[in-house]
């Protein structure tokens, strides 16, 4: 956020924020039995809880009974590992979502939940439509010419969230990543390590990730459409 936003999850988007929009989508999805929220430190925990309490009228009734709070780790896979290990035994299937993608719909969450309860792994994703070019022996600055090659974009997909699988698969995959000192940048990377195929759920609406300050202009636009 380049210091322009204190916490992108709580930055206003209309009369709400990315954190609340994500919570609302999951809490309104019938297959979701509980919500585990990973936070980075005590300060963020307090801010997230205050936001949830202040906007409780926007959420389904008694949402706090479905929520547990868990301190995350340094990297994404560390946070996911921490969350998985706090889940009770009766939770057998898990969807993992990045709150920086606040426009996910409850319908998509329900569709993804249906897939994982069939003992499959799934990710919301969309096929690559733009030309993909790789720089070969690039110079330090992209503006300087270098040899390139065009990568065949067919069957290349852009990963989004939620992503999910049976809980035991996620635990096994992340354990293997830890043991092998492999960094996985998304949750299905851990599933691939243990040889399970994955399903890709294409959606027909924007599900952008808020990464830079400029992304809030697009988020404001989507919130009004």
Dump pLDDT digits (tens) for 94-152: 999 999 999 999 999 999 999 999 999 999 999 999 999 998 887 778 888 889 999 99
Whether residue 6 is contained in a domain is answered as no
Q: Is the pLDDT of residue 62 over 60?
A: no
| 220 pLDDT above the threshold of 80 | yes
- Examine residue 142 and state whether it is found in any structural domain, yes or no: yes
Per-residue pLDDT tens digits for 78-106: 999 999 999 999 999 999 999 999 999 99
162 band by pLDDT with thresholds 50, 70 and 90? very high
Q: What is the DSSP letter of 116?
A: H
Residue 5 lies in a domain: no
User: Which of residues 28 and 2 earns the better pLDDT score?
Assistant: 28
Is residue 7 domain-resident?
A: no
Task: Assign residue 65 the CATH number of its domain.
Answer: 3.90.550.10
Lay out the sheet containing 157-166: strands in order across. Answer: 93-96, 157-166, 121-127, 198-202
Q: At 66, is the pLDDT very low, low, confident or very high (cuts 50, 70, 90)? A: confident
Tell me, yes or no, whether 53 lies in a domain.
yes
User: What tokens does 152 get?
Assistant: 């065949």
What whole-number distance in Å separates Cα of residue 32 and Cα of residue 8?
A: 25
Count of domains observed in the chain: 1
- Contact indicator for 121, 188 with CB cutoff of 8 Å: yes
Specify if 92 maps to a domain.
yes
> Which residue segment(s) compose the domain that 27 sits in?
12-223
For residues 21-27, average pLDDT = 94
What contacts 24+ positions apart, CB below 8 Å, involve 3-10? 4/213, 5/213, 5/216, 7/44, 7/47, 8/100, 8/210, 9/48, 9/99, 9/100, 10/47, 10/48, 10/51
Q: Is residue 3 one of the residues assigned to a domain?
A: no
Residue 4 within any structural domain of the chain: no
């Amino acid at each position: 956020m380049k210091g322009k936003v204190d916490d992108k999850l709580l930055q206003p988007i209309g009369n709400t924020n990315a954190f609340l929009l994500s919570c609302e989508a999951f809490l309104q999805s019938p297959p979701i039995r509980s919500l585990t929220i990973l936070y980075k430190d005590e300060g963020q925990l307090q801010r997230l809880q205050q936001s949830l309490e202040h906007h409780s009228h926007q959420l389904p009734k008694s949402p706090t009974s479905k929520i547990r709070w868990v301190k995350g780790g340094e990297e994404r896979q560390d946070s996911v590992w921490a969350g998985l290990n706090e889940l009770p035994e009766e939770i057998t299937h898990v969807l993992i979502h990045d709150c920086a993608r606040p426009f996910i719909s409850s319908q998509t969450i329900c569709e993804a939940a249906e897939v994982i309860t069939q003992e499959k792994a799934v990710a919301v994703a969309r096929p690559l439509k733009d030309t993909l070019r790789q720089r070969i022996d690039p110079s330090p600055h992209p503006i300087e010419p270098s040899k390139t090659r065009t990568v065949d974009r067919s069957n290349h997909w852009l990963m989004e969230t939620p992503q999910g699988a049976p809980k035991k698969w996620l635990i096994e995959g992340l354990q293997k990543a830890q043991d092998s000192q492999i960094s996985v940048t998304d949750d299905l990377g851990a599933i691939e390590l243990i040889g399970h195929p994955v399903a890709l759920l294409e959606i027909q609406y924007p599900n952008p990730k808020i990464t830079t300050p400029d992304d809030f202009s697009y988020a404001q636009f989507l919130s009004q459409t």
